[in-house]
Structure 1
């Protein structure tokens, strides 16, 4: 419990520092905010254009898709706010030898790297996501219960952990390879596809890849299916298994990378 409390205090400290820093450089803060909002509006325009021509996508109605778009917008805002910029800075620190500074700190190295660059401006993108989720819930006539709210929050947390693990695996490969730009591009394309198209449209080998091997399609689809009452018990087991596997894999690759980094530095 003391360790958890200590890490929560550190997150609070990181948050306060970043807030102060971004308020000093307000132009940068608002630029990032408007970029995030612009990307959201582009996604929304694509969505509206799509449903101008069709009534449903693989059995999903317009408002199920609204809920889906709201969910990925919420997840995108949370991960950009909490850990995106911290995790994506890892390869540069590895290549430039700046990781040594973090290894000497009396705090878990990965924890420090993850949360030191929280982006407060990205948190605002969660607001339109929440509005879309509420709007879709009303139009779908969903009966809101405490279990449904708690289950949805739990799945959001699991998807944030899964996305974090996938990001960490790719960045940790910088310990072993000089260039990982192609993997970054692949990640960007997979996220772009999975955050625009629900996983239910995939079939066969494509579904196996995007649900198990590179499980980006789970991230926004599963919470949406749960809240709209179409998630089976088997999918819960799949989610728990996939998240656990990728957390363990990301930690293993990270630890192997640190050992390699330490050997190269000595």
Structure 2
């Protein structure tokens, strides 16, 4: 328990440093905020264009897809706020040997390398995502019940854990392969499919996006919990995928460290 509290305190310091750093460039902060608003507006407009041609996407109506888009935006904000600025640096740490300094710190190396650099203004992407979810719920006239909200939050937590695990799992390959940028690009391309319900895809592609690269777990299932399209088995799938991917990623990280040759050795 004391270890968890210590890591929470360290995370708080990381956040404080990120806020101080961002406030040094306030004009850029405003510019980034406007960029976020423009990006969200274009994403919503794209969904509207689809619905000018059809009444549903994979059996989902406009506001239901809007909820899904909001969830995708929340997760994309998490990627840009935490994952991309941190995990993308793993390659540089390994190439330059600066991973040595991280390994000597009295903190878990995976935790440190995952959360040291936080792009704090990206929190607006996350907030805008939840706002879109709220608009979708209101537009669809969906009732909000405590049990449903709790289930949604649990599935969102599973989504974040799964997304984090897959991302750091891919970047851990840099211990063996010098260039993993192409794999990272492929990861991002697959994740983009999460903008739309997995029911839109057919056959082997739906299976791939549910069980192999679980986009459905990360976006479709949380949205389905709010609109009443979630099956009980999908809750177990979400929890199972989150636990499995995190456990495997943790083991993979520890194994990778054994193969790391420090700059001082």
Indicate whether the TM-score tops 0.5. Answer: yes
Which residue of the partner structure matches residue 51 of structure 2?
51
Cα offset for 1:10? 0.8
Task: Let me know the Cα RMSD of the aligned residues.
Answer: 1.7
Gaps of 5+ in 2: none
| Cα distance between partner residues in 1 of 2:84 and 2:39 | 16
**Counterparts of 1:25 and 1:223 in 2: how far apart (Å)?**
36
C-alpha contact 1:73 1:129 (8 A) present in aligned 2: yes
Paired residue secondary structure (2:259): helix
> Following TM superposition, by how much is the alpha carbon of 1:28 offset from its aligned partner in structure 2, in angstroms?
4.1
List per-residue Cα deviations over 1:118-152 (Å, max 9, x = no partner). 11100012232222212221222222111111111
Q: Measured at CA, do residues 77 and 181 of structure 1 come closer, stay the same or move farther in structure 2, by a change above 3 Å?
A: closer
CA shift in 2, pair 1:77/1:26, >3 Å:
same
CA distance in 2: counterparts of 1:28 and 1:139, whole angstroms: 34
TM-score by length of 2: 0.93
Counterparts of residues 1-266 of structure 1 (less than 5 Å): 1-194=1-194, 196-262=195-261, 266=265
Q: Is the 8 A contact 2:68 2:220 kept in 1?
A: yes
CA contact under 8 A between 1:83 and 1:117: conserved in structure 2? no
CA deviation profile, 1:182-217 (whole Å, cap 9, x unmatched):
2112111111122x2211212321122111111123
Report the Cα distance in structure 2 between the residues aligned to 1:104 and 1:186, rounded to whole angstroms. 33
Deviations 1:70-125 (A, max 9, x none): 11112222343344311222122112211111001000011111111111100012
Q: Which runs of 5+ in 1 are unaligned?
A: none
Question: Structure 1-normalised TM-score?
Answer: 0.93
